[in-house]
Amino acid sequence: MKQFEGRVAVITGAASGLGRAFADTAAGLGMKLVLADVDAKALEHATEALQAQGAEVLAMVVDVSKREHIEELADAAMIRFHGVHLVFNNAGVAAGGLIWENSEADWEWVLGVNLWGVVHGVRVFTPIMLECARRDPHYEGHIVNTASMAGLLNPPAMGVYNVSKHAVVSLSETLYHDLRLVEAPIDASVLCPYFVPTGIVGSDAHRPQELENDAPPTPSQQAAQMLVSKAVEAGKLSAADVARITFDAVREGRFYIYSHPQLLGSVAERMEAIVHGKAPADAYAAMPQLTQALKAGAKG
């Protein structure tokens, strides 16, 4: 996708973090914005700021885990702007701790947002984009699904999150192949960021009441939360940096998008272990202090 000005971008999780950075970047390129987020107040603030910069914005409070919410978002986008060109299936939440200590509610919440949110986005918006392409011989489209380096590695005490992000990588790779089967003028990418200050560590504040845990967090869950919080706060790349990297990749038609390509050595180690039938590689092998901190935390 080479042309952005005047085109329409749909962004979930748009009120903060990577989603807000995508919106800022898209607005700077002259795109029309369809913004979705579960946080109504933050979404209102983002909308007002973008409109003050001259952007055309349609904003809706959306729970991406609910199919009907994504369908309503798509309908509103087509009514307002009559087309969709760039879709960021970006909304995400996180839960950690020893994998057997995660509750059913943890699984339902994280998979609902991180995986089903992307599933709904692909199922609803891809047919719309294909129809837009049939109507316009010059149409260009692109879908970016936000996964994580946790979708290529398997760090300890992040099991629910790892599972959700591995599924997004698989879904995105299949989407890429399927779009080529039908020779669509639509590209697909999967974004795999590492620790970036985005606010995801506070995502529990927007957890649905019916999926809240009655029991207090376990020592391993507290340790995982503390570790991720410190790692995110220490991140040297900002959300704006990742947005710039992502839009460059969209222009160039790249599928895999990395914020920290230096970690691909760990991905290669994981793949080598798979090929040679070895035990799973340690995602934190280069940072043993992280494993030690998790061990200490898990023991209380």
Q: Which residues are catalytic?
A: 161
Task: Tell me how crowded residue 2 is: count the other CB atoms within 10 A of its CB.
Answer: 8
Cβ atoms of residues 281 and 273 within 8 Å: yes
DSSP 236-272: SS-HHHHHHHHHHHHHHT-SEEES-GGGHHHHHHHHH
Name residues whose C-beta falls within 8 Å of residue 50's C-beta, 6 or more positions apart in sequence.
Answer: 23, 24, 27, 33, 35, 57
Please name the residue ranges forming H helices in the chain.
17-28, 40-52, 67-81, 104-110, 116-135, 159-181, 219-233, 239-252, 264-275, 288-298
Q: What distance in Å separates the CA atoms of residue 231 and residue 64, rounded to the nearest whole number?
A: 27
